[in-house]
């Protein structure tokens, strides 16, 4: 074999140093998006969509133009928490987003269905294709920060998003149990394998504040957020309490009214993340 010139374009060899072709897809030609953040979890039921909503609402309060892509196609819950019921529309130019009460742009499968309780019974390939349409066919107008609420686990949709959309990093959502710690590590390892930075760790249901004395009661066991963050070099953590006010606001479609101050450190890490070229 002749000496390598490192010019893969003129080489037919299939060697280990051969450059990989980018799988990134271009967004809609009328879209303008500065930075993209994925919100993931190793398993369901830990409050990933809630965390996405709170981070987006907090970012909006900081004066940013914010968008949310609800990529959890079979379990969409973002519109409900924001009180959004308007249907998505489109024309020959593309698909339009729907606005939350504060003006956040969002897309979700539930904004395309005739009924929010209608199940989406699709196979993985169709689901991943729909998520990509939310990226390539939707017109995102002057968005500073786009959050992608992904389904739990490390399957088709997270893989599609990691490979096809230029996300700047991810935020991982967990709860204190040992079982959840194990699946969080799967999500961290997947991100590392895909060269996606982990920007923050949000431990949901971390504690319950006693309404009388304010003492923090660790209902689901001792917090593991700090230990996980130190082990994997995650720069920021947030501990979200079991707070009835959050549930009340989410059920009423007013999640934007929650202050979200506990997420400030994670938001600061998101702000520092380097935007990837689209």
Residue 5: what pLDDT?
A: 45
Give residue 277's pLDDT band: very low, low, confident or very high (50, 70, 90): confident
Q: Average pLDDT, stretch 123-128?
A: 92
DSSP state for residue 113 in the 8-state scheme: S
- Of the ranges 22-26, 46-50, 61-65, 182-186, which one carries the lowest mean pLDDT score? 182-186
Please state, in angstroms and as integers, the Cα–Cα distance from residue 95 to each residue in 87, 106, 133, 182, following that order: 11, 11, 9, 39
pTM for the structure as a whole: 0.90
Residue 236: what pLDDT?
A: 96
* pLDDT exceeds cutoff 60 at 112: yes
Q: pLDDT (tens digit, 9 = 90+) per residue, 152-169? A: 888 899 999 999 999 999
| Distance from C-alpha of 262 to C-alpha of 270, rounded to nearest angstrom | 14
Q: pLDDT (tens digit, 9 = 90+) per residue, 58-87? A: 999 999 999 999 999 999 999 999 999 999
Asked if 207 and 171 count as a contact pair (C-beta separation under 8 A), the reply is no
Residue 273: what pLDDT?
A: 96
In a domain, 161, yes or no: yes
In a domain, 276, yes or no: no
Indicate which CATH number applies to the domain containing 68.
3.40.50.300
Count other Cβ atoms within 10 Å, centred on residue 257: 14
Q: Average pLDDT, stretch 147-156?
A: 91
| Distance from C-alpha of 106 to C-alpha of 83, rounded to nearest angstrom | 12
Residue 16: what pLDDT?
A: 52
Asked if 67 and 146 count as a contact pair (C-beta separation under 8 A), the reply is yes
Give residue 116's pLDDT band: very low, low, confident or very high (50, 70, 90): confident
Give residue 7's pLDDT band: very low, low, confident or very high (50, 70, 90): very low
Residue 20: what pLDDT?
A: 55
In a domain, 48, yes or no: yes
Using only C-alpha atoms, the chain has a radius of gyration, in whole angstroms, of: 20
Selected residue with higher pLDDT from 109 and 186: 109
DSSP state for residue 134 in the 8-state scheme: H
Residue 42: what pLDDT?
A: 81
Element (H, E) at 66: strand 66-70
Average pLDDT, the chain: 90
In a domain, 8, yes or no: no
Domain of residue 129 covers 25-269
Kindly give the interhelix angle for 178-193 and 225-232, rounded to the nearest 10 degrees.
30
DSSP state for residue 52 in the 8-state scheme: H
Please state, in angstroms and as integers, the Cα–Cα distance from residue 55 to each residue in 106, 143, 212, following that order: 14, 15, 29
Quickly tell me which residue has 């949901």 as its tokens.
Answer: 204
In a domain, 16, yes or no: no
| Distance from C-alpha of 213 to C-alpha of 209, rounded to nearest angstrom | 8
Tally of domains in the chain: 1
C-alpha of 242 from chain center: 21
Q: pLDDT (tens digit, 9 = 90+) per residue, 171-195? A: 999 999 877 778 888 889 999 999 9
Asked if 31 and 41 count as a contact pair (C-beta separation under 8 A), the reply is no
Please state, in angstroms and as integers, the Cα–Cα distance from residue 173 to each residue in 18, 82, 85, 184, 200, following that order: 36, 20, 26, 8, 9
């Amino acid at each position: 074999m002749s000496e390598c010139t490192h010019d893969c374009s003129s080489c037919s060899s299939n060697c280990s140093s051969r450059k990989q072709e980018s799988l990134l897809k271009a967004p809609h030609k009328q879209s303008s998006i500065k930075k993209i953040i994925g919100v993931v979890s190793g398993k369901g039921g830990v409050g990933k969509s809630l965390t996405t909503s709170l981070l987006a609402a907090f970012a909006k309060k900081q004066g940013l133009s914010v968008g949310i892509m609800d990529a959890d196609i079979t379990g969409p819950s973002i519109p409900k928490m924001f009180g959004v019921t308007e249907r998505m529309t489109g024309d020959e130019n593309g698909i339009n987003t729907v606005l939350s009460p504060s003006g956040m742009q969002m897309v979700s499968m539930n904004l395309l269905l005739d009924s929010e309780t209608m199940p989406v019974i699709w196979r993985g390939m169709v689901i991943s294709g729909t998520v990509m349409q939310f990226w390539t066919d939707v017109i995102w107008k002057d968005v500073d920060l786009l959050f992608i609420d992904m389904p739990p686990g490390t399957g088709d949709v997270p893989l599609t998003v990691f490979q096809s959309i230029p996300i700047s990093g991810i935020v991982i959502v967990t709860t204190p149990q040992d079982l959840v710690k194990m699946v969080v590590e799967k999500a961290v390892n997947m991100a590392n394998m895909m060269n996606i930075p982990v920007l923050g760790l949000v431990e949901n249901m971390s504690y319950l504040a006693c309404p009388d004395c304010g003492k923090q009661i660790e209902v689901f066991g001792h917090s593991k957020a700090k230990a996980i963050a130190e082990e994997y070099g995650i720069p920021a953590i947030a501990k979200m309490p079991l707070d009835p006010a959050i549930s009340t606001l989410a059920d009423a479609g007013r999640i934007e009214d929650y202050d979200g101050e506990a997420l400030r450190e994670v938001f600061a890490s998101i702000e520092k993340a380097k935007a990837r070229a689209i």
